[in-house]
Structure 1
Amino acid sequence: MSKNPKWIIDARNIVKVYQNGSEELKLLDNISLTVQENDFVAILGPSGSGKTTLLNILGCLDLPTSGQYFLDGIDVLKARDNQLAEIRNK
């Protein structure tokens, strides 16, 4: 293992909230995840636990309500739509 790992995914305190009328539905609550180059990851949990929501955020198909997300060093939350499309196509 190298002394300076290359983080491919660095997600910190990810929160995702959907508004359903006057009701707030918090699907992700302060999720943090780091994945190094060449790591394998499995995301497990019961139905409705936020797995798909997390994968949509990690795949740049959706953005978190709050938190920080870096994908291969790129700050996803500051990226423009065309940059996100480019990332998704890789």
Structure 2
Amino acid sequence: MELVRGVDRRNRGLTMHVNKVHSVRTLALVARGLGEDEDWLADLALDMEPEDGLIWVYDPQHEGGTMAFTEYGVQSLLNLIDIHRGRPK
């Protein structure tokens, strides 16, 4: 979540930007759902940005992070699969 310093005459503090993303799916879950190889999808998604629906999730089991996708990110990934395989949309 992005913090934005704003001028708020009522509380004069930090204000928060409200992100509309309410859930994400990990790369492993997306790969399983699509029946695709996880490593291959990770290679396709390497050039994706947060604007494309890719975020990184960190936890004690994945200190280096793991890819996760918003709904829009899954659609972006599906578009990359189609482009890679040369399928028309």
TM-score by length of 1: 0.25
Instruction: Kindly name which structure, 1 or 2, has the bigger radius of gyration based on alpha carbons.
Output: 2
Give 1 or 2: higher helix fraction.
Answer: 2
Give 1 or 2: higher strand fraction.
Answer: 1
